[in-house]
Amino acid sequence: MTTQLLGTSFIGYSRSSGTEICGHGIQPGTCTVLEPAYMAATPDEVEKALSLAAAAFPAYSQLPGKTRAVFLRAIADGIEGVVEDIVERGQLETALPEPRLRGETGRTVCQLRMFAKQIEEGSWVDARIDRAQPDRKPLPKADHRAMLCPLGPVAVFCASNFPLAYSVAGGDTASALAAGCPVVVVAHSSHPGVAEIVANAVIAAAQANGMPEGVFSVLYGGGRKVGQAVVKHPVIQAVGFTGSRAGGTALMATANARPQPIPVYAEMSSVNPVVILPSALVRGEEALAEAFFGSLTLGVGQFCTNPGLVFLPVNTGEVFLAKLKSLIEAGSPSMMLNAGICKAFADATSSFATAAGVATLARSTTEAGSGQGAPMAFIVSVADFLKSEVLQGEMFGPATLIVRGSLEEIEAAIPHLEGQLTASIHSTVEELAAHPGLVPALQNRSGRLIFNGFPTGVEVCDSIVHGGPFPATSDGRSTSVGTMAIFRFTRPVTWQSFPDALLPAELQDANPLGIKRMES
Ligand code: NAP
């Protein structure tokens, strides 16, 4: 490995010393302790990182989009340069296979380059110009010009299930840096070494491109201690988080209890309902079961878009269920990301298995080894599903709940679902014409609607929404994936009656950046 791991936080351009070990990387399954030990950032070091971020904000936020884009591209290049280190350490820390780690690294650098392109072009600031009308009757109108501006330093919590694409230099960090916000990252204990490798690349890119110190820091020490301190700190103006409902809601409570409350963009819990109508079964029940099983077990089910809930009308789909049963029984247990996630999966599946009215449709016939999760499916009636709070919860792993009832019962159940990242519907245009309320009901509960497909595999693009009503996210008006993610870290500002020379370039009369604007 070319990167030398030191086990300490990045406080701007310095490395901390720390005084207390907060953990090691741990190999899932074998529980082998990996070197080095990671030192928790001390309160003074946390303070230093935050004051550096505050000091960096004025200069960094004023940099032209093209300059920030060079920085983002340099981070992407730097990460590509250490991909072998990422793969080597990532396999040890996360048990994710090499192709997944390479693929996720590719996605991470693509995201950075996507935001670089967005801010190079510049129209994302949504510039609006209402020119003065001094002769307007009965009152003259003053010149008003508005655009989106960066919020200030942002705290980003790394996600255990995306050690690259939603961690140190993942989508939250990339969108915040693109918007013009310094970032203070709280590392996840599940992959500290990968975090250090990526952080080195970000810091090298910042230094090589003359970014102000404090534009980026990474803190070790855990969310409950260091993370809470960061979110409470007056310097921080927004939070990006992916993880559990308990963690996300705890951070929302902390952010709301501040003298100045701040937005928390937490992506938490989603079971991604799949509704299968009879017309979809006509096309081939076995093929549908195979595609569903593929989505259910992808990445050992450790995706926020895992299809954890299926609505299947009674008296249909018997071949689908039989095929799914045989696939699950033959399915192999696989290593999960860490011992905590494995235990949470075991606890959730045993709560489902013992909930009132639930039968086990299938479980893998191979017993799961240490640290492993095995595919399983449960089955319940719509009536029992609606009575149970447990059954609306997430089993984070390769398990799903099949809910059966009449089509009318299924339609009536949809509005009672919690907020979701996605909702999938398998049907035909003709059949849906007879159920005109179904798609609008799913739309009200989710951020992405999928027709005749499954929810895993999130395209990173301009029109993707990876968000949804609570508890899928803490703020269903936002997305954490795609170019719209940048808006989370901005606020609109109006310049009234300002001389041209004092306006940002985006709002000047001559439109020197050549961006798209709304003008009247
Ligand atoms: P987590 O427990 O929510 O932890 C994520 C991060 O938040 C960690 O850095 C953690 O720090 C921090 N944190 C947790 N509780 C906190 C609190 N009260 N105050 C401040 N920070 C806090 O998530 P996880 O460790 O990644 O996985 C645990 C479970 O979350 C999984 O089993 C799964 O059920 C769910 N999960 C869901 C998704 C999804 O996309 N839906 C993704 C990942 C995980 P510490 O290390 O100090 O605890």
Atom of ligand 1 nearest to the CA of 248: 3
Q: How far apart are the CA of 188 and the centre of ligand 1, in A?
A: 9
Give the distance (Å) from ligand 1 centre to CA of residue 242. Answer: 7
Residues 6+ apart with CB under 8 A from 499: none
Residue nearest to ligand 1 atom 31, measured at CA: 341
3-state secondary structure of 154: strand
Sequence-separated (6 or more) residues with CB below 8 Å from residue 293:
324, 327, 328, 331, 375
Q: pLDDT truncated to tens, each residue of the chain (520 aa)?
A: 899 999 999 999 999 988 899 999 999 999 999 999 999 999 999 999 999 999 999 999 999 999 999 999 999 999 999 999 999 999 999 999 999 999 999 999 999 999 999 999 999 999 999 999 999 999 999 999 999 999 999 999 999 999 999 999 999 999 999 999 999 999 999 999 999 999 999 999 999 999 999 999 999 999 899 999 999 999 999 999 999 999 999 999 999 999 999 999 999 999 999 999 999 999 999 999 999 999 999 999 999 999 999 999 999 999 999 999 999 999 999 999 999 999 999 999 999 999 999 999 999 999 999 999 999 999 999 999 999 999 999 999 999 999 999 999 999 999 999 999 999 999 999 999 999 999 999 999 999 999 999 999 999 999 999 999 999 999 999 999 999 999 999 999 999 999 999 999 999 999 999 999 999 9
| pLDDT at site 250 | 98
Q: What is the mean pLDDT of the chain?
A: 97
Q: What is the pLDDT of residue 393?
A: 95
Q: Which ligand 1 atom minimizes the distance to the CA of 348?
A: 34
% of residues, the chain, pLDDT over 90: 99
Q: From the alpha carbon of 254, which atom of ligand 1 is closest?
A: 19
Mutate to test the pocket of ligand 1, among 244, 394, 395, 470 (most ligand atoms within 8 A of CB): 244
Domains and CATH numbers, the chain: 10-132+140-268+475-507 (3.40.605.10), 273-451 (3.40.309.10)
User: 499 C-alpha vs ligand 1 centroid, how far in Å?
Assistant: 49
| The pLDDT value given to residue 17 | 85
301: three-class secondary structure by DSSP: helix
Ligand 1 atom 12: residue of nearest CA: 223
Task: Name the residue with the closest Cα to ligand 1, atom 22.
Answer: 223
> What would the pLDDT profile of 26-81 be if each residue is shown by its tens digit?
999 999 999 999 999 999 999 999 999 999 999 999 999 999 999 999 999 999 99
pTM above 0.85, yes or no: yes
Give the pLDDT confidence of 147-192 residue by residue, as tens digits. Answer: 999 999 999 999 999 999 999 999 999 999 999 999 999 999 999 9
| CA 23 to centroid of ligand 1, rounded, Å | 16
Return the CA Rg of the chain: 24
Q: Among 444, 445, 449, which Cα is nearest to 464's?
A: 449
DSSP string for residues in 217-284: EEE-SIIIIIIHHHHHSTT--EEEEES-HHHHHHHHHHHHHSSS---EEEE-----EEEE-HHHHHT-
Q: Which of 160, 190, 254, 303 to mutate to test the pocket of ligand 1 (most atoms within 8 A of CB)?
A: 160
Nearest ligand 1 atom, CA 245: 3
Report the separation in Å between the CA atom of 142 and the middle of ligand 1, taken as the mean of its atom positions.
Answer: 49
Q: Which atom of ligand 1 is nearest to the CA of 225?
A: 47
Q: What is the pLDDT of residue 99?
A: 97
**What is the residue with the minimal CA distance to atom 26 of ligand 1?**
160
241 CA → ligand 1 middle, Å: 9
**Catalytic positions, written as ranges:** 267, 304
What is each CA distance from 452 to 12, 211, 427, in whole angstroms? Answer: 48, 46, 7
**Nearest CA owner, ligand 1 atom 39:** 304
Pairing mode, if any, of strands 376-381 and 399-405? parallel
Q: Which among 224, 228, 390 is the best mutation to test ligand 1's pocket, defined by most ligand atoms within 8 Å of the CB?
A: 224
Position in ligand 1 atom list of the atom nearest CA 228: 20
Q: Give the Å distance between the CA of 213 and the centre of ligand 1.
A: 29
| Structure tokens that stand for 227 in this block | 């993370």
Burial class of 435 by CB neighbour count within 10 A (0 to 12, 13 to 18, 19+): middle
Neighbouring CB atoms inside 10 A of 430's CB total 8
* Atom 35, ligand 1: residue with shortest CA distance: 244
Residues at CB less than 6 angstroms from ligand 1: 157, 159-161, 186, 188-189, 222-224, 227-228, 242-244, 247, 250-251, 267-270, 304, 340-341, 344, 394, 396
Which residues, in sequence order, are CB contacts of 133 under 8 Å at separation 6+?
140, 141
Write down the pLDDT at residue 449.
98
Length of the chain: 520
pLDDT given for residue 188 in this prediction: 98
**Residue closest by Cα to atom 34 of ligand 1:** 396
Distance CA 169, CA 177 (A): 10
CA of 400 to the centre of ligand 1 (A): 21
CA of 92 to the centre of ligand 1 (A): 20
CA distance 183 to 264: 14
Atom number of ligand 1 nearest to Cα 270: 41
Q: Given this model, what pLDDT does residue 1 score?
A: 85
Nearest CA to ligand 1 atom 10: 223
